A and B are shown apart, each in its own frame.
Chain A
Amino acid sequence: MRSLSYIRAKTVSEATEAFVAAGEGARYIAGGTTLYDLMKLGVERPAHLIDIASLAGSDRIETSGDVLFFGAGARMADVAEDGVVRRDYPVLAESLSKAASQQLRNMASVGGNLLQRTRCPYFRNGAIGAYPCNKREPGSGCAAIGGLDRGQAVLGVSDACTAASPGDWPVALTAMDATVEIQGPAGPRSVPIAEFYRLPGDTPHLEFAIEAGEIVTGISVPKTEAGRNSTYLKVRDRESYAFALASAAVALAMDGDHVRHAHIALGGVATRPWRAREAEELLTGRSIEPDIALAAGKAAFAEARPGAHNAFKIELGARTLADAIMTAGRKMQ
């Protein structure tokens, strides 16, 4: 790890000014659970750290207005425990409480979690550098394609990168049509979460629609009755504290027994939090039955492109989604 400077900012403007002043190699650090980890692995090599974990008011959680608002600095553990979120938006609370460990949820912020980077073992092989990675070193190649690719994505992959998007919270937010609030040296802006994550394409090193010097300041989630009939199902190699092999965020808006609109997103199987529009359309107007749920699950993976060792994710992902749809449907009764 190379030597670096560290300062703690108290306000957003103080942070963005410090970023501009610091010049090349400046990075913001919040909880640090991703950035510091990747610094130890030699993947991230910042020269200046600007600590934004204690920006004034950045940890507020507001659930009484027209939207749910989560300050970017709110800790994952605190949002997971919020009473309104747990009762009215279980998909959000569950996506957080099933992520990481309580130690890390006490550290990690819900804004920083949006920027978590892939767990692809070739990407994380930074310090040794024995393997190429287009995401870590653009143009160097991809060792995962044709390599040990059990954990890689099957949706949204390109010839340059198959790295799976690692998050749970971003998947739930994608299903719920969240908006990411951003502030930078040029001022504030809002980005729909569907536009926040890029497909790898030929440029897998460009992951997020956020510019250098910008800070995620908050997350807004439109309120919807579908929130009550929602769930986040995460299937892992072990029961707790592991990244998803496949996960599904499902929220159902119902007319009586029939689905008026389904919100569905998938994790663990795609290169970004994956909105499953085909599955949503298939469910619209239908009642919740096991065969329909499974058909929706299979529809979500119609375009899947597996590698050598991860074809199991197609069946696993389809059944994970089907189970999540049935769980969300049962909350109607």
Chain B
Amino acid sequence: MSDTHDRQPLEVTRRQVLEAGTIVSVSGLLPVAAQAQAPSPQPAPENGATVQVSFHVNGQPSALEIDARASLLDMLRERLGMVGAKKGCDHGQCGACTVHIDGRRVASCLTLAAKVDGRDVTTIEGIGRADALHPMQQAFIDHDALQCGYCTPGQIMAAIACVKEGHASTPEEIREYMSGNICRCGAYVGIVAAIEQAAPLIERS
């Protein structure tokens, strides 16, 4: 959420190497807010064969040329500066990278960036504002549903989808349908309570 806007431009040394082994320019890592004010974002070099993708992220149109191997997660974080979705395992096993595509929750680390051409992507950055939190965000605060917070963006995106799917009617069902999101700190009791609180405030899809 807030780290998109609060962070200084990221250190190249820390983030320059993508999982795919490609190098990204600093210009490609600028936060979204700053990028919007820039005259035109510089294209970032990609090492491999590229594909052109046009899609909406949090309602805003986005178009860029991306390495055909890149994941949606890497594209969001390294090219669009949207670092809310987290890279935990990078193998679809932890849920920290959860985002919505066309309203459905997916693991962005196992989604090829090329696949989102023409789709609507929603990330944690797109669900609320600092002065108007999404009910699920508020519920996580109310129930201390986190400790370190690393899994939280994925937990919240999964939780919103869990409610919209109609899979949040009992604590048991919530636990089953949230099992794709691992919390190493063990905040599960708070997470289940938060989802129970927020569920009536969120419309079923």
Contact = CB atoms under 8 A, between A and B. Distances in A.
Interface of A: 1-6, 8, 29, 32-33, 36-37, 39-40, 49, 51, 53, 77, 100-104, 106-107, 239-241
B180 A104 contact: yes
Contacts, number: 91
10 contacts: A3-B67, A3-B69, A4-B49, A5-B49, A6-B68, A6-B114, A8-B114, A101-B92, A104-B110, A107-B110
Interface residues of B, number: 37
A15 to B, nearest CB: 15
A53 B105 CA distance: 16
Contact of A103 (B20, B92, B112): B92
Nearest to B67: A3
Nearest to A38: B91
Given A49-B68, A102-B105, A103-B98, A4 B90 contact: no
Contacts of B161: 102
B101 to A, nearest CB: 8
Given A32-B115, A104-B92, A4 B105 contact: no
A64 to B, nearest CB: 24
Contact of A3 (B49, B98, B177, B181): B49
B98 to A, nearest CB: 6
A273 B19 CA distance: 34
B42 interface: no
Contacts of A40: 19, 90-91
B175 interface: yes
Interface of B: 19-21, 47-49, 51, 67-69, 71, 90-92, 95, 98, 104-107, 110-112, 114-115, 117, 158, 161-162, 165, 167, 175-177, 179-181
B20 A32 contact: no
A102 B202 CA distance: 19
A102 B21 contact: no
A104 B110 CA distance: 9
Contacts of B115: 8, 32, 51, 53
Q: Which of B21, B90, B111, B161 has most chain A Cβ within 10 Å?
A: B111
Given A3-B68, A4-B49, A103 B180 contact: yes
B48 A3 contact: yes
